[in-house]
Amino acid sequence: MEPGVHAAQLDRIIAVIPLANVSIAVITQDAPLETILWCGFDLFDERDPGYQPLVVIEMPHRADETSDPDDVELYRSHLSAIRDAAVCGDEAVAAIRAVGTRP
């Protein structure tokens, strides 16, 4: 990727951080992460009435879904650990700017 493109992307991320309808958090390289990120997942916790919470687990070869309460709780725990390790606001801006100044 061209350095100018990367810098523009980082600037755009920084520009949207203050928006009320946007939530951006950064996990820095030295963050104390209390979980292992085996794969990505989407947690649909606040669904329409009548629908159970759902987790979509994104693996390299396919996606899987679960609404089993124990599984959902496991992913809630993972998400909580990820959020605890992340920085937001001015700290996130500083972390993003630090990445942008690396050679």
What confidence tens digit (pLDDT) does each residue in 46-57 have?
Answer: 777 888 999 999
pLDDT at 100 over 80: no
- pLDDT of residue 27 exceeding 80, the answer is yes
Q: What percent of the chain has pLDDT over 90?
A: 72
65-86 per-position pLDDT tens digit:
999 999 999 999 999 999 999 9
For the chain, what is the mean pLDDT?
A: 90
**CB-CB contact of 7 with 100 (8 Å):** yes
Whole-angstrom CA distances from 41 to 44, 48, 89 are 10, 20, 24
Domain boundaries defined on the chain:
1-28+86-103, 32-85
Cβ–Cβ < 8 Å for 40, 58: yes
Query: Taking 90 as the threshold, does the pLDDT of residue 36 lie above it?
Result: no
